[in-house]
Structure 1
Amino acid sequence: MQKQQAASGRGILYRVYERRLRRGLTPDVVPKHVAMIIDGNRRWAKQLGYDSAAHGHRAGAAKMREFLEWCDDLGISVVTLYLLSSDNLTQRQTEELSALFEIIADLAEELSHYRDWVVQQVGSKAGLPGPLVGALDAAEARTAGKKGLHVNLAVGYGGRTEITDAMRSIVASHHEHGGTLDDLAETLTPELIGQHLYTGGQPDPDLVIRTSGEQRLSDFMLWQSAHSEFYFVEALGPDLRPVDFLRALRDFAKRQRRFGG
């Protein structure tokens, strides 16, 4: 009985603290675009004694659905979730990848039916299995024209590859229109490169969050995050709490953004 009362007390204090954090977040300080590197799923599964990383990846995917709800409820316009890197395709074991492909496909399907969200894959389809590509394409088609939260699923994603693909797209388009190399040199600008990225037409992320205590980018949105703010959370991906996210937003709101200055 005493343990139940203690747990109840912590729950009440937690909710009070969460409400206080929310009250401090006015629309003018909330970022427009949040990018999330969901990390620690495998460690989470190992710590809990599960026999495969798939349990952690499923828990991480479920948490990302919650995370998107938190963002949507606060008026954030764009969220990018880093779910599968191009490096993962060559560095992870086949069994783990197979499970991860299925989990991501299920997540894309689920999100495409939820609220008024727009779902878009950002990344390359090279190396992805047909069923996953089909699920991602179907989610994009199903949500085309919607006006709600824009959800980027970074799948088969690599920042260096994205920049390379953008440059190839620019060169191909320039050649198609009969341009010369001299012309290309004159017209090549950061703005033009940005238009040819996977996220072309979207605002760059204001805030990049990474879970699990790791403090590195892992080839994620290298171009777009040039002026982003970064926040690192100790919690493993599946353990992320609303207060962890609200603290990140509170920290972001206090920062003076210099955009390279």
Structure 2
Amino acid sequence: MTRMYNLLSSNKRKEKVSTQPQSVAPEHAHPCRHIAIIMDGNGRWATQRHLPRLAGHKAGVSALRRVLACAADLNVEMLSVYAFSTENWERPRAEVDGLMRLLWETIRSDVEKLHREGVRLRHLGRLYDLSPELQKAVRDSEELTKDNTRICLNVCFNYGGRAELVDAVRQIIAKGYQPDAITEELIASHLYTSNLPDPDLLIRTAGEMRVSNFLLWQCAYSEYYSTPTLWPDFSEEDLRKAIESYYQRKRKFGRVPSASQ
């Protein structure tokens, strides 16, 4: 237990906001306003330290705290994080139950502080599969922070990109739309992310090179960045490197760039 405490405490010390100057986007660059993150590697981080997997998930929450603070300082407007997928229900029951408790505990311990710091919280995913107590906690946190404008944190919990599209199609059919009325704009307006901007940058940690059913529609033209760093070790400097990589790209959105680009 002492070893676990020391490891988690060490991670917490990394949460302090960086004092480095804010990054500045190159002139005429498409600004990096919305970053999506697949927070991978919690289990591997714990296994490497001979700790239970839940210890890795707790360390991952600490990483999210410091990355959120850094993103806000860098004037990122929105952060979307993949916290629990629709496929994660297939994990061992003890781990699933632990993740549910961790979400509840994190909301209870962090929401007031996040509110004071100007963070707006949103839940993306199928809320109805969660316990009534957890549903209420999520809704209450959204209501409390709904007018905050410093940065928006979208927590994708019980989220799946295919499930999102299924839910959108069901809504459209239920409203009686005819086939020739179906457009990309109509579908987008029925997604969980309705009225939210698409991610400019998609970051995946732990060296994996797949999107894992995350924001499939929204990330159609997002810039992809993979790092071997496990999520609990992801630092402010890692975030800066990802954003710097983004600004070295030329975003064409399927078009031929102009001579000025």
TM-score normalized by the length of structure 1: 0.84
Cα-to-partner distance string for 1:109-137 (whole Å, 9 max, x where unaligned): 44432111111100002432233222211
AA aligned opposite 1:94? R
Distance in 2 (CA, whole Å) between partners of 1:163 and 1:108 is: 27
Q: CA deviation at 1:232?
A: 0.4
Q: CA deviation at 1:106?
A: 2.5
Q: What is aligned with 2:100?
A: 101
Counterpart of 1:238 (choices 232, 239, 254) is: 232
* Count of residue pairs the alignment pairs up: 233
Distance in 2 (CA, whole Å) between partners of 1:23 and 1:196 is: 35
Q: CA deviation at 1:167?
A: 1.1
Q: What is aligned with 1:259?
A: 253
Q: What is aligned with 2:219?
A: 225
Distance in 2 (CA, whole Å) between partners of 1:30 and 1:64 is: 22
CA contact (8 A) 1:117 1:147 kept: yes
Q: What is aligned with 2:81?
A: 81
Cα-to-partner distance string for 1:233-258 (whole Å, 9 max, x where unaligned): 11101001222111111110010011
Q: What is aligned with 1:164?
A: 166
Distance in 2 (CA, whole Å) between partners of 1:25 and 1:103 is: 36
In the alignment, is residue 38 of structure 1 matched against residue 39 of structure 2? yes
Counterpart mapping for 1:1-261 below 5 A: 19=20, 22-23=22-23, 25=25, 30-50=31-51, 52-89=52-89, 91-113=90-112, 114=114, 115-173=117-175, 175=176, 184-261=178-255
AA aligned opposite 2:195? G
Q: CA deviation at 1:29?
A: 5.5
Q: Quick one: structure 1 residues 75 and 24, their matched pair in 2 at CA, closer, same or farther if it must change by over 3 Å?
A: closer
Q: CA deviation at 1:156?
A: 0.4
AA aligned opposite 2:137? A
CA contact (8 A) 2:23 2:74 kept: no
Cα-to-partner distance string for 1:39-63 (whole Å, 9 max, x where unaligned): 100110110111x211000000111
CA contact (8 A) 1:35 1:208 kept: yes
AA aligned opposite 2:196? Q
Q: Quick one: structure 1 residues 199 and 109, their matched pair in 2 at CA, closer, same or farther if it must change by over 3 Å?
A: farther
Q: What is aligned with 2:4?
A: none
SS in structure 1 opposite 2:220?
helix
Q: Which sits farther off after the overlay, 97-106 or 122-131?
A: 122-131
Q: Quick one: structure 1 residues 95 and 23, their matched pair in 2 at CA, closer, same or farther if it must change by over 3 Å?
A: closer
Distance in 2 (CA, whole Å) between partners of 1:110 and 1:76 is: 24
Distance in 2 (CA, whole Å) between partners of 1:247 and 1:167 is: 38
Distance in 1 (CA, whole Å) between partners of 2:134 and 2:189 is: 26
Greater helix proportion = 1
Q: Which runs of 5+ in 1 are unaligned?
A: 1-17
CA RMSD of aligned residues (A): 1.9
CA contact (8 A) 1:111 1:119 kept: no
TM-score normalized by the length of structure 2: 0.84
Task: Name the % identity.
Answer: 33
Q: Which runs of 5+ in 2 are unaligned?
A: 1-18, 256-261
